[in-house]
Each structure stands twice: as structure tokens, then as C-alpha cells.
Amino acid sequence: MIFYEPSSRDRGLLPHDPFKSLVAPRPIGWVSTRSASGAVNLAPYSFFNAVGENPPMLAFSSNGAKDSSTFAGEIDEFVWNLVTWELREAMNETSAPLPRGSSEFERAALEMAPRAWWRRRASPPVPARWSVASSTTSSCTTWTGARATSTS
């Protein structure tokens, strides 16, 4: 039995904080957003999941305020795009920290689906080579500061 506390763990026993690998595998939320002023953004979030069915709810968690969480809060909407194996490298590219306003779509050489298509259902754009995209409106932002403790 090991008692494990992320903030004061035994670094001899656990050199790397195992928190992220304790709940695994996790799906990746490839989150696309649009700001109130029209900037577009795309980034991967592994703290992501479907969290309810009726109504259908998706959630992602940002480690501090990032463009995705900021933009999603601005227009109360984000889109989850499913990352397929063939898009894995492009997905990784979109995790690079870029200055606000620079498009991850351009950096990862990802084509956006035609505007006429995605504007029908959602404000944020989606990659043209996506497999499944699910848009969610009326977002709720929660700030958490809970201490995680687990035993194994």
C-alpha cells in the first residue's frame, strides 16, 4: 500500500508525478474555438471527456487560462474534434504555444472545413480531415483548486 499525495510525494519512489497516468487511457479532446473578435484556435486537451448524456455534455479542463478556455468562455461554445491516428502528428503540432491570434490550423498545415459547412452548426471552425466533430454551446467555466489524493 502506498499513500500518495501529488504535492508531497516520495520522489525517490515516484520521481514523476503519476497523477496523469492514474486515470488512463483518456480520450483527447481536440478543441476548436473562436474568440469574440473572430480569432480561431485549435489545441489538444487530454483532460477531456463526455460528462453527461441528457443533455449531452462535454468538458475539458485547462491548466490555467489558455486560448481555448478563454475563447470558449467568450462565445460560450467550443467544438470537440476526434483525433484519428492519421491526424496524430498534426494534433501534436497544434499543442505548440503560439501567440494569441496565430492560427494552429496554419502551423499544422490543416485545412479548415469550408466555412459554409461549419457555420451551419457551430461558430468555431473544424479541421477538414476530422472524423467526428461535436459542438457544444452554453459552456460553464469552473475554477477548481481541489487537492488530489489517492491510495493504491
Ligand X SMILES: Cc1cc2nc3c(=O)[nH]c(=O)nc-3n(C[C@H](O)[C@H](O)[C@H](O)COP(=O)(O)O)c2cc1C
Which C-beta is closer to ligand X: that of 47 or that of 75? 47
Among 46, 49, 103, 134, binds ligand X (CB under 6 A): 46
Among 44, 73, 124, 127, binds ligand X (CB under 6 A): 44
Q: Does 67 bind ligand X (CB under 6 A)?
A: yes
Burial category of 70 from C-beta neighbours within 10 Å (exposed 0-12, middle 13-18, buried 19 and up): middle
* Shortest Å distance, C-beta 58 to ligand X: 13
Q: Does 107 bind ligand X (CB under 6 A)?
A: no
> Do the Cβ atoms of 106 and 98 come closer than 8 Å?
no
Burial category of 87 from C-beta neighbours within 10 Å (exposed 0-12, middle 13-18, buried 19 and up): buried
3-class DSSP assignment, residue 40: strand
Footprint on this chain of ligand X (rule: CB under 6 A) = 28, 41, 43-47, 61-63, 66-68, 92, 95, 97
